[in-house]
């Protein structure tokens, strides 16, 4: 990624197309973002640099990175050949990170927002990338104290990658509903299941649901337009909820809230991976895939933000309104044969309660936000 970012825009676009056309199909990499917490108060603490220094010379070096604010840390699996490898690596990364957290006398949590710590107290990390974004976005980037889970899926073929992205657009609401984990922010119960989406997706430019593109050429024209007009200085400033990554030959899905529990994170990653693989197969076989307009997808996206798994979605082809859990069950049934082939099927299930529903149930039972959040905190491993 670093090498690609040092290329000129012209070189970067050519590098990306060549990478996709020569790429390996259906590799997978998972990135998880966590809040760094005081282990006693569970408030956010600006300690990323201590984490980064502590992993030098360890297996986590290069897999633990900064993500905007100093009270946040991201861990990566790196590229995995199979989903089984990715799931095992996710478990190992969390174990390594929690051991590190124990040594540093800190704690972590993976919900999509922190329930009360003020954004004004979170320091942006001092890297060239984040300094540029700070100068460009100002309040928008200051306000973005959010934590997500991203999955990269290798797709061979530049035009094929765009076709996969086009179809994934229509499923972004289902993926967000499945992952919703952020009902609290700024000390209040927002009545949203994903406050993170409002903070990030609704505020950043070039974010949320992308347009449909006619193959790689159409996408390339758009990227060139952004560079030529000075709208972006780096390709990562295209913050869509699903995008072809210009440094890796992958389609990256970025819509999801972070997940407090390992099993929840593995299940979500399996869903994103298997769905992307199922869509790639449909592209190859000429099977019809959704190509809904942005305005219709947004209707379901709002339902996912507001109600998560708890209410209903619109079938954008028929106009029927169906329970959201039924929509997810139907989606899992559609992808199940491919998931079985790829070793991801055993991880797939619609949860009885996702993280947002658990937290909301506690709130409705009269518990404090602090007590509810404490149950989601990952306890450090003392070694």
- With contact defined as beta carbons under 8 Å apart, do 210 and 169 qualify? yes
Would you say residue 382 lies in a domain?
A: no
DSSP secondary structure of 13-74 = HHHHHHHHHTPPTT-EEEEEEEEEE-TTT--B---HHHHHHHTTTSTTTTTEEEESEEEEEE
Would you say residue 380 lies in a domain?
A: no
Residue 304: the pLDDT is 98
Give the per-residue SS3 of 325-365.
HHHHHHHHHHHHHHHHHCCCHHHCCCCCCCHHHHHHHHHHC
Question: For residue 149, what are its two tokens?
Answer: 């889970």
Supply the DSSP symbol for 286.
Answer: T
Sequence-separated (6 or more) residues with CB below 8 Å from residue 317? 290
Would you say residue 356 lies in a domain?
A: yes
Q: How confident is the model over 166-215, as pLDDT tens digits? A: 999 999 999 999 999 999 999 999 999 999 999 999 899 999 999 999 99
Would you say residue 25 lies in a domain?
A: yes
Would you say residue 108 lies in a domain?
A: yes
pLDDT under 70: residue ranges of the chain = 1-5, 383
Provide the residue range defining the domain that includes 329. Answer: 2-372
Would you say residue 379 lies in a domain?
A: no
Q: How confident is the model over 301-321, as pLDDT tens digits? A: 999 999 999 999 999 999 999
Would you say residue 210 lies in a domain?
A: yes
Would you say residue 377 lies in a domain?
A: no
Task: Say which CATH number the domain at 80 has.
Answer: 3.30.590.20
d(CA 131, CA 199): 20
- With contact defined as beta carbons under 8 Å apart, do 277 and 285 qualify? no
Domain total of the chain: 1
d(CA 339, CA 277): 8
As a whole number of Å, the end-to-end CA separation of the chain is 34
Residue 144: the pLDDT is 94
Residue 383: the pLDDT is 66
């Amino acid at each position: 990624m670093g090498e690609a970012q040092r290329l000129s825009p012209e070189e970067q676009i050519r590098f990306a197309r060549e990478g996709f056309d020569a790429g390996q199909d259906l590799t997978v990499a998972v990135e998880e973002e966590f809040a760094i917490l005081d282990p006693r108060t569970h408030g956010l603490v600006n300690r990323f640099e201590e984490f980064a220094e502590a992993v030098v010379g360890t297996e986590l070096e290069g897999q633990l990175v900064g993500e905007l604010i100093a009270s946040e840390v991201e861990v990566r699996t790196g590229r995995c050949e199979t989903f089984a490898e990715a799931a095992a690596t996710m478990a190992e990364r969390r174990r390594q990170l929690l051991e590190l957290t124990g040594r540093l006398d800190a704690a972590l949590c993976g919900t999509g927002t922190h329930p009360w710590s003020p954004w004004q107290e979170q320091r942006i990390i001092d890297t060239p990338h984040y300094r540029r974004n700070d100068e460009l976005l100002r309040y928008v980037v200051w306000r973005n104290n959010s934590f997500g889970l991203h999955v990269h899926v290798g797709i061979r073929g530049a035009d094929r990658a765009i076709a996969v992205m086009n179809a994934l657009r229509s499923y972004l609401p289902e993926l967000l509903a499945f992952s919703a984990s952020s009902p609290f922010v700024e000390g209040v119960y927002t009545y949203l299941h994903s406050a993170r989406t409002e903070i990030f997706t609704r505020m950043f430019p070039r974010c949320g649901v992308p347009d449909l593109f006619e193959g790689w050429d159409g996408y390339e024209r758009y990227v060139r337009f952004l560079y030529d007009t000075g709208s972006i200085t780096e390709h990562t400033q295209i913050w869509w909820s699903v995008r072809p990554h210009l440094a890796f030959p992958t389609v990256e899905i970025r819509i999801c809230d972070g997940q407090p529990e390992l099993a929840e994170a593995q299940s979500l990653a399996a869903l994103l991976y298997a769905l992307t693989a199922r869509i790639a197969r449909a592209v190859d076989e000429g099977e019809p895939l959704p190509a809904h307009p942005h305005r219709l997808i947004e209707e379901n996206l709002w339902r996912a933000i507001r109600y998560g798994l708890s209410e209903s979605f619109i079938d954008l082809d028929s106009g029927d309104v169906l329970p959201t859990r039924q929509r997810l069950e139907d989606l899992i049934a559609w992808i199940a044969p491919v998931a079985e082939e790829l070793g991801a099927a055993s991880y797939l299930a619609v949860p009885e309660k996702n993280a947002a529903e658990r937290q909301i149930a506690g709130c409705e039972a009269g518990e404090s936000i602090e007590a509810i959040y404490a149950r989601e905190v990952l306890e450090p491993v003392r070694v």
